[in-house]
Structure formats: C-alpha cells, structure tokens
Amino acid sequence: MLRNVVLDNTLTWHDVSAIAHGAPLEIARAPNDRVVKGRQIVEALVSRGIHAYGITSGVGALADTVVGRNAQAQLSRNIILSHACGTGPLLPAPAVRAIIAAQINNFAHGYSGVRPATVAALQALLNHNCIPAVPSKGSAGYLIHMAHIALVLIGEGRATLNGEMLSGANALAKIGVAPLVLQAKEGLSLVNGTSCSAGLGSFALARAYRLADWADAVAAITLESSGAQMAAFDENILALRKSIGIQQVGKTLRARLAHSRRIDLSIGKHTQDALSLRATPHAHGAVRDVFANTAQIVDQELASVTDNPIVHGTPEDPKVASEAHAVAPALALALDGLAIAVCQLSMLSERRLDRLVNPLVSDLPAFLTNDPGVGSGLMIAQYTAAALAAENRRLGAPASLDGGITSALQEDYLAHPTAAANKLLVVLDNAEQVLAIELMAAVQAADLVSADADAGDSAAMRAPGTNAIYHQVRNLLPLYRDDHALGDDLETLRHLIATSEPAPIPAMA
C-alpha cells in the first residue's frame, strides 16, 4: 500500500513523484493556516480597493485595466476559460497528478491567496484519482496545462474517474465535490506559477533515476557478453577522475560483474576495449552528476513561491507585490541539461548494442542469430535503436533558448520550462526503448556465449549480478529465433525498464 505523503513545509521531488504514482496527499495544519492567512490578505486588499495585478486589474497586457469588485469573480472564471487552450495528446495520469501536487505545494506557501476550499478541491482530485484531461502542448511557460485542471474545479472540461471519461461536473459529483465559484485572484493563481514544470520535472526525475539504474545493469551484461577488460573500471583508476557519478557507476559495475568467469577468461585478451565499453562509467556517471544538479534545482523550485503577484503582510496591513517568480530559467536550463545527458546515454547504449550484433567487431554469431542468412536476428532492432538515438539527438536542442514574445510585448521573455520538461519526457521514452533493445541483445548474446567446458552450461559463465538480470528477462521472453514479430518483445522489455527496478545484485557469502 502506498504511504500518505504529508505536506508540512514543502514537498520534494520524491514526494511529488510518489503522489504522481498514486500516493494520497495529506496536508498538515501549518500550511492550511498559511493558506487561510493568505486568503484573508486578498480579501483585505479587495475591501480596501488596493490596485493589484489580476485582482483588481486585468492580466497580461491588460494589467492596467481596472476591474471593479463586482466583476472580480467573473474575471477569475474568464481567466480559466480563456487560458484552457491546449492542444495535442493528453498527458498521462501520473503527469497530471504531479502537476496538481506541485500546485497544492505552491499554494501551501501561503502567498497565493486562494481559499482553503480551492486547495481542498485540488486535494480531492488527487485522493479520488480524478484526473483532469490536460492536453500536452501549448504552454510557453505555464498557464495552459493548469487552466485545464482548473476547468474541472469549476465543473467544466473533462476528467477520467475509474477509467471512464466524464464531464467535469459529473466527475466532481461522483467524488462529492461541488463546483467552485472562484473568487478574486483565484483564477489567476490557478493558472500561474511554475507548478506545471516543477511537477513534470519531478515526474521525469523519477523516471530518469530508474533509467540510470537500468543503464548500469544493462551495460554490465553487455560488458560481460563482450568479454570486456575490467581493468578500466578499477576503483583506484576511476578515482583519478573526480566525479561522484563515475565512482558510483564504477562500484556498481564491479559489483554486478564480480565472479564472472566470462570476464576472467577475457583478461588480457585486448589491450583496451572500444570507448563505447570503456567509457561506460564516464558517460553514465555524467548522467548521475547532471541528475543530482537537476534534482537540487527542482527541489529548490518546489520550496519557492512562484506565484505572481504575491500577497503578504497581514490582514490588517495587506500588501501585494508584482514580480517575476513565475519565470523559471534555472529550472528550464536544468531540465534541458538532463535531457541532453539522457540523450547521450541512449547514444552510448546504441553503440554498445552495435558491437554486440556487428560481426565485424564481435566474436558472436552475426546479428545474434544462430542461423545467419535465413535469420536476421537483431539486425533491424539495431536500426530501431539508431533511429531513436538520432531522434534524441534532435530533441537535445535546448527549449530554454527558444525565446518568444507574447501578450503584446508585456511578456517578452520566455524561459520555456514546461517545454523543457515535456521534451525530457519524450527523450526518456526513447532512451527506455533503446536500453530495452540493448538489454535484449545482451541477454541473447549471453545465451550464445560458448559454455564453460568444466561447468557444462553458459550460466556458469555469468556473474551472479548479471545472472539476476538474465533471469529477469528470460522470465518474460525466450531466446529470439526469428519465429515471431520482434516488436512485441522490444515493447515487453521497454515496459520492464519503465515500470520495474533491475534485479538486485545477490549478496555473496
């Protein structure tokens, strides 16, 4: 059973990821008190007629247009309706849950001024797993994705509940929540801030973390099947290259390949291996180093107030400040950086795969088929990996440099953190499939390695750590013999990598 995530001070990316994958959200008393105070400040601003962006004025280029008190609720509703203009395929449910979690977290800082009832309605969407239909495309910075979530809160739009797509009004009725009648500032707050990119970034971090672990495990069985030279991964040698990531990957590879007879029999066979094998700790370690930096920045974003304007002071002395906290260049740059790192990981995986299937550089059967000519084996699977790695190279172009001018020159600088997050998710999709193809080839190669003369079977050639991965795959798929469509097998292993952890390294007596 999933543990409850408790929001007290702030959520972390780990928390948001847990919520994305179904964990219920509980809100402690302190953040609720902060929300109450923030709302009291908004009400004081309204009652005193203090000019404030998005409260007593229009938004964007209409910031200097005064909105009277009797029209402020309509302004909030209109903002939701006009901003809900996304396009494209819908985001998956975990991604939408991540955005909602990050949005509640931002409101819980107490500077947005939404009502507690609005936060409670968002919480109800999470805890009843009522998922608003959110198009994946259209946000230059934020706004659009969150507007589609807010549509459901006011009884508009669509949402999925128990596998059924319903109108927003029907979905709310089924979970016992009345449609909200938004009040002053709430419409702007519901579409504002970096909750979308921070939520998607948290969701992507969880996937990248699992992918990095799989990359090390897949590389280990490829290195073993290739008869790699382990001297390059010696602890003292790798320690000369100052990188926490490199040391971590080196330690994992040594543990995963410990007691491998295939590796032992290969000692001294080559002076040095090709870089796609020898540089595995360096490339994988770089991904882990970039990941650590990205995780720090996402957590920094979640700990920050990202609404505009913010309300502060006290109900007796209410204050409002317009600023640019909803812009997130640091987050966009970090997510772009992680996307590039994952692109590089997929490129290296494809190169290792080629060395397994390529008869020009491998002492294994051509294309890992035991009947070359009649059977093509994994020849074309390598084409697929090459195509996906090439697509990732194209996606490596940074979204944070896209620029753009919107809202009649009022919003004339865009950092594109949401585009960076969406692009990272596509890169992860491709990288998972590339690694799955390498995994299939590495396990196929392990089956084709000559059996140890003393042991009488190929299992004795494998390390306990790689044997665990081997059986994780073989429990799902048999040796491929050109006897059925290969694509289904590749999807099976992609799903394994996307949803499961690599088999642990067995403890040695």
Q: Domain 5-193's class?
A: mainly alpha
The token duo for 155 is: 């009884």
**DSSP E strand boundaries for 379-452:** none
Q: Using CA atoms, how far apart are residues 71 and 54, in angstroms rounded to an integer?
A: 12
End-to-end Cα spacing for the chain: 33
Q: What pTM did the predictor assign?
A: 0.94
Residue 358, classified by CB atoms within 10 Å of its CB into exposed (0-12), middle (13-18) or buried (19+), is middle
The letter for the amino acid at 363 is D
Question: Which DSSP category does 306 fall into?
Answer: -
pLDDT at 65: 67
SS (H, E, C) 97-149: HHHHHHHHHHHCCCCCCCCHHHHHHHHHHHHCCCEECCEEECCCCCCHHHHHH
Contacts of 318-326 spanning 24+ positions with Cβ under 8 A = 318/41, 318/42, 318/44, 318/45, 318/48, 318/50, 319/41, 320/45, 320/50, 320/52, 320/53, 320/55, 322/53, 325/193, 326/141, 326/142, 326/192, 326/193, 326/194
Output the six-digit token pair for 299. Answer: 């957590």
Q: 243: which residues sit within 8 A by CB, 6+ positions away? A: 282, 285, 286, 289
pLDDT on residue 454: 45
**Eight-class DSSP state of 2:** P
pLDDT at 415: 82
Looking at residue 363, its pLDDT comes to 85
User: What is the number of alpha carbons within 13 Å of residue 152 lying toward its C-beta?
Assistant: 32
Could you state, in order of their start, the residue ranges of all structural domains in the chain? 5-193, 202-309+336-499
CA distance 394 to 415: 19
Q: What is the pLDDT of residues 425-439, one digit of tens each?
A: 999 999 999 999 999
**What is the rounded distance in angstroms from the CA atom of residue 495 to the CA atom of residue 506?**
23
The CATH code for residues 202-309+336-499 is: 1.20.200.10
**Using CA atoms, how far apart are residues 193 and 308, in angstroms rounded to an integer?**
7
Weakly modelled stretches of the chain, pLDDT under 70: 1, 58, 60-66, 68, 141, 406-413, 450-457, 509
Amino acid identity of 113?
Answer: G
Q: pLDDT at position 452, please?
A: 44
Left, alpha or beta for 184 (phi > 0: left; psi -120 to 50: alpha)? beta
pLDDT of residue 1: 62
Give the pLDDT of residue 71.
80
Output the pLDDT for position 404. 72
H/E stretch holding 164: strand 164-167
Nearest to 493 by CA among 437, 422, 417: 437
What Rg, from alpha-carbon coordinates, does the chain have?
Answer: 26
Q: Within 10 A of 271 (CB to CB), how many other CB atoms are there?
A: 6
**C-alpha angle 198-200-206 in degrees, rounded to nearest 5:** 100
Supply the pLDDT for residue 453: 37
Q: Check if the beta carbon of residue 268 is closer than 8 Å to that of residue 308.
A: no
